[in-house]
Chains A and B, each alone.
Chain A
Amino acid sequence: MTEFTPPEINYYAIAPILIMFGAAIVSVLVEAFVPRRGRRPTQLVLVIGSIVAALAVTIDLRGTRLVTGAGAVAVDGPTLLLWAALLVISLLGALLMAERTIDPVGDSFAPRASALPGSDDEQQFARRGYLQTEVWPFLLFAITGMLVFVAANDLLIMFVALEVMSLPLYLLAGMARRRRLLSQEAALKYFILGAFSSAFFLYGAALLYGYSGSVGFVAISDALTAKPSEGTLVALGVALVIVGLLFKVSAVPFHQWTPDVYQGAPTSVTALMAATVKIAAFGALLRVLYVAVGGLRWDWTPMLWIIAALTMLVGSIVAISQTDVKRMLAYSSVAQAGFILIGVIAATPEGLASSLFYLIAYGFTTIGTFAVVSLVRNASGEATSMAAWAGLGRKSPLTAAVFSLFLLSLAGIPLTSGFVGKFAVFTAAIASGGTWLVIIGVVASIIAAFFYVRLIVLMYFAKPTEDTASVAIPSAFTTIALTTAAVLTIALGVFPQWLLDVLEQAGVFIR
């Protein structure tokens, strides 16, 4: 019998994870023990407090660069930066989820699955204070998962984090108050396909373990240097692990869940998911590619090259023919994944920094975009059909202006964060020899600009009709989230240098 020695753990370095995890557990207890009326305020205090605390610790940890837990968790510059971004964006997402003045009945989650939307039953439930406050523990677990996901330094921890992150999100996607069938269908699809992709990931992890005798990234990387000739097993393993991660970033051809889930999930959840999952999954993908299988760079580059090109083109082209705003934004997020992949493929410190910049810029813009979508409503709930957006600029100029700002940023128009992001990844790719991919990227971004601008045209230059939706006046929750997103979208476009400096100081992944 070998004796079990517990690994050394630097608890302070992983304190943000522990705070979120602890808060999640407390949150479950709140559901069990706090009286119904008190749950929402308690949960809100808990969620916001824990995120702020975790953020404070993350900021205090700046400059940390270590591996802990027997090599399982890496806390380095990129990790801390991703943590900070994830926490801030999750905070904005939480604010959106807390909103309950937009919908006359209450928040955007179904209080009881049995009560039809808008029925007397539902209103009775609302009056008695039935709320789906379980969304808060889900949120906290999901955040915990994301924080671990981007710090994971071995495949097993990464897999656990992937599941901890994903499972609550599957559930959250199915909880919409309105258009419940669509929402539940989305949740089921997301779950089945997500489980399917996890299987790929796990199988790939097993093959890599078989090859290197370890699940640690550093050990895998060392094995690649030690025995470079054993080809097929490692190629198969790497491919399957990458497939599992590409599913989460919605790269083509693993993207098809995206429009259904984005459309079906409650919009506040879509906002959170679209922004944070993309960041977390790209964070993990970057670490796997740069740390574990960086030695195979010349093997995975061609494959990712094709996937990036396909992702940009399919996302941009299919988005043109969409008639639903949320679906269009979903395809847009597919296309954006392609643009980020350009930076990932560069496989240089500049590639890493530019991808991270793009992710952060994209995260804030996206959460703002969906926040606006949640405000545009008609009698039956959110009005996501494009016909309902016609002439919105005349009815609600401010909302339309803010939305246009986000769309212009997604299209990469100068002086917005989106432009700097695109420019940074393109430059990094060119510097490492990816000129042709950049040309495809530029062409795709032109196609993409077309459908973003089409929506602006629709809002400003079309006449309002009877179907034109109206804009709900949100409470402080959504207003704060929306304002933050808008301010950062402009600030990162006009003064991007401070973030670029921070990224440069953050350096590369620890090995």
Chain B
Amino acid sequence: MTELMPAEGVFSLIWLLIALPLAGAVILLCAGRRTNSWGPYLGVLTVSASAVLGWVMLWEMLQVSPEQRTVEQNLYSWLVVGDFQADMAFQLDQLSMVFVLLITTVGALIHVYSIGYMSHDRDRRKFFGYLNLFVAAMLILVLANNYLLLYVGWEGVGLASYLLIGFWQYKPSAAAAAKKAFVINRVGDVGLSLAIMLMFVTFGTVSFEGVFGSADEASQGTLNAIGLLLLLAAAGKSAQFPLQAWLLDAMEGPTPVSALIHAATMVTAGVYLITRSNAIFDIAELAATAVIVVGVITVFMGAIIGSAKDDIKKSLAGSTMSQIGYMVAAVGLGPIGYVFGIFHLLTHGVFKAGLFLGAGSVMHGMNDNVNMRRYGALRTVMFITFITFAAGWLSILGIPPFSGFWSKDEIIHAAFEQGVVVGVLLVIAAGITGFYMTRMFIMTFLGKARWEEGVHPHESPKVMTIPLIILALGSTFLGMALLFWGDIESWLEPVVGFESKPAALSTAATIAISLTVVIMGAIVAYVMYWRRPVPIEEPRGSWLTRAAREELYGNQVNDALVVKPTYVAARATAVLDAKVVDGVVNGSAAFVGALSTRLRRYQTGFVRSYALSMVGGAVLVVLALVLVRAS
């Protein structure tokens, strides 16, 4: 059993991890234009300092035995109402440690890259301020020691993401996308807030320690309800079915944002939430099954959408959905899957950030055109981007020895441990991944140039290519490093548990089958997009292609099921409020009707109907009390 250690030595600085980027955000957002010249460097500095601090903490954590690696720092008592207590307290353990490193290190690289990418933007200090704000909120999310503080970070990353998606607010599409992301995320937030309240009712506390400690005392029904609500929250933040629709639109934000928030970190918060709550999902079988189902559905939705989009960022966004689907499915598997879900989360965070930044580098050279039908043959002019993108491509395909191979393969193998159906589905999806990523790679870097007139592609400046190179190295070696040197299974085991079951397929067979399927997918893409010329106009395509271009009609479904009814309800209520109430009152009670005619004689205009509704209300109040009293 792990014990909670007091925060001593370097761990007494846990708060500083968050305070640094937070201070950066406050300074950059409050000090105004005068920070325009040095602001971006301050932004880079704060996050880098947090990253260094994070690595020092990792070093310290490695010095103690696994049971003593959970450190708690209680700053102050935040909220005490009656029996309820929530502290401003942080918990650093093996799970949050890897998140801290991912967030700060990838975050720092993306900050550096943004110096080049945003160099022409007038409001770049604001951009860096928002990025700092995001990093701070995300760190609160993963370091919180109770669900309420986690909720603070949860809302904070949502706010930052919303501000950053809409950063280029002069584009109406960006503003619309920001709003959509916010609204859909609120639906997920309902899940989280209800889950927190249900936890409080059930366990009398919302601290991780308290909830997990007594999780086995609650009934199956309650735990399933909590689990399903947490899943709803995770689906909103991680763009999983049925709340996936916002992620593709979120690509309206600047590309570094897509890389940091909508690929590497924030969208994986759902996976973190489920993994963190493993004590609940281990018991709540129904909820755990639902997690797998949601994950598998999203794996396919994302892959299919990714296959049809010609917009490089949207195609990558589809891919992100799909890959997070893998992680969600993995953590739904329970103790056989948690560590691999997190493992894939880490490798994906690195290689997908690299892919997005690569896409940004391409766009930077192509006058911000995102249409892959207008790319082609870019290997000749942007060699570094080409090579680094290739590393990401091979990694996501799962070609050994690239990072993605190790993590994705472990998930597929774990799925076969659970049952054949999930395993087979994930293998098929891996084949689609092979197809769409190869398609993207060929359309962008290989084949013939299909550039628009007047476009002169060029390699990006060093400040952008160096982060690309570092991420490409990560895409290549991180998987091996974590598995063989970092021993990720035993590292995470004290927090999430780990077990292994005999599987229908041996490890070698899994690797062989999934590699075959992936390469088949890649060959199809090769035949379709290299052997044949790529038309500049998009062809009509099959019904599936057309559906995928429409994002599998997710928007239309949302519109019909949620948006329109809400507006209708709002209008109807407004009408009811103004006009119908007095009519109803008139019809229902005779003496009120008589009173109403008298009132009408004395009063004109709306006051009449207001007074009437008051009378009606009063009658109802009286009736309610008298009836209750009489019964």
Contact = CB atoms under 8 A, between A and B. Distances in A.
Q: Which of A314, A423, A442, A462 has its CB near the most chain B CB atoms (within 10 A)?
A: A423
Contacts of B178: 457, 461
A502 interface: no
A252 B571 CA distance: 17
Contacts of B609: 256
B555 interface: no
Contacts of A442: 190, 193-194, 197
Contacts of B566: 320, 447
A235 B190 contact: no
A497 B76 CA distance: 9
Contact of A189 (B201, B574, B610, B622): B610
B175 interface: yes
Given A193-B607, A350-B81, A463 B624 contact: no
B625 A299 contact: yes
B62 interface: no
A443 interface: yes
Contact of B626 (A232, A443, A450, A500): A232
A149 to B, nearest CB: 20
A471 interface: no
A239 B175 contact: no
Contacts of B629: 231-232, 234-235, 296, 299
B577 A314 contact: yes
Nearest to B179: A457
B425 interface: no
Contacts of B610: 189, 193, 256-257
A231 B622 contact: no
Contacts of B574: 317-318, 321
B175 A462 contact: yes
B42 to A, nearest CB: 19
B277 interface: no
A482 to B, nearest CB: 16
A41 interface: no
B485 interface: no
B298 to A, nearest CB: 23
Nearest to B571: A321
Given A231-B626, A231-B629, A350 B618 contact: no
Interface residues of B, number: 62
A353 to B, nearest CB: 7
A431 interface: yes
Contact of B82 (A428, A435, A446): A428
Interface in B168-188: 169-170, 174-175, 178-179, 182-183, 186-187
B80 A500 contact: yes
A320 B570 contact: yes
Interface string A175-209: 00000000000001100110011001000000000
B603 interface: yes
A225 B464 CA distance: 79
A109 interface: no
B569 A189 contact: no
Contacts of B82: 348-350, 353, 427-428, 431
A306 B170 CA distance: 45
B197 A426 contact: yes
B332 interface: no
B79 interface: yes
A240 interface: yes
Contact of A321 (B80, B166, B570): B570
Interface in B559-583: 566-567, 569-571, 573-574, 577, 581
A450 B562 CA distance: 13
A303 B624 contact: yes
A364 B178 CA distance: 29
B190 A443 contact: yes
A196 B79 contact: no
B213 interface: no
Contacts of A461: 166, 169, 174-175, 178-179
Contacts of A348: 82
Contacts of A196: 611, 614
A417 to B, nearest CB: 12
B81 A424 contact: yes
B200 interface: yes
Contacts of A318: 570, 573-574, 577
Interface in B65-81: 76-81
B622 A500 contact: no
B81 A239 contact: no
Contact of A239 (B179, B569, B618): B618
A442 B197 CA distance: 10
A439 B193 CA distance: 10
Interface in B46-98: 76-84
Interface in A216-267: 231-232, 234-236, 238-240, 242-243, 246-247, 252-254, 256-257, 260
A300 interface: yes
Contacts of B626: 231-232, 235-236, 239
Contact of A256 (B81, B84, B182, B613): B613
A354 B611 CA distance: 32
A496 B81 CA distance: 10
B79 A453 contact: no
Interface residues of A, number: 75
A232 B630 CA distance: 8
Given A439-B194, A446-B190, A461-B175, A414 B151 contact: yes
A189 B166 CA distance: 43
Interface stretch (B152-160, B280-288, B440-448): B152-160
A413 interface: yes
A460 interface: yes
Contacts of A303: 621, 624-625, 628
A203 to B, nearest CB: 10
A446 B416 CA distance: 40
B614 A430 contact: no
A48 interface: no
B189 interface: yes
A373 interface: no
A449 interface: yes
Contacts of A431: 82-84
A438 interface: yes
A247 B200 contact: no
A254 B614 contact: yes
A497 B79 contact: yes
A164 B468 CA distance: 71
Contacts of B193: 442
A151 to B, nearest CB: 25
A302 interface: yes
Contacts of B573: 314, 317-318
Contacts of B618: 200, 239-240, 243
B122 to A, nearest CB: 11
Interface of B: 76-84, 148, 151-152, 155-156, 159, 166, 169-170, 174-175, 178-179, 182-183, 186-187, 189-190, 193-194, 197, 200-201, 566-567, 569-571, 573-574, 577, 581, 603, 606-607, 609-611, 613-614, 616-618, 620-622, 624-626, 628-630
Interface of A: 188-189, 192-193, 196-197, 200, 231-232, 234-236, 238-240, 242-243, 246-247, 252-254, 256-257, 260, 296, 298-300, 302-303, 306-307, 314, 317-318, 320-321, 348-350, 353-354, 394, 413-415, 420, 423-424, 426-428, 430-431, 435, 438-439, 442-443, 446-447, 449-450, 453-454, 457, 460-463, 495-497, 500
Given A260-B606, A317-B573, A446-B190, 13 more contacts: A189-B606, A240-B618, A299-B625, A299-B628, A317-B569, A350-B82, A423-B81, A427-B81, A427-B197, A442-B190, A447-B566, A495-B76, A497-B77
16 contacts: A189-B606, A189-B607, A196-B611, A235-B628, A236-B622, A239-B624, A242-B621, A299-B628, A303-B621, A318-B574, A423-B148, A430-B200, A435-B197, A439-B194, A457-B178, A461-B166
Nearest 6 A/B pairs, CB to CB: A461-B175, A253-B617, A350-B82, A303-B624, A414-B152, A256-B610
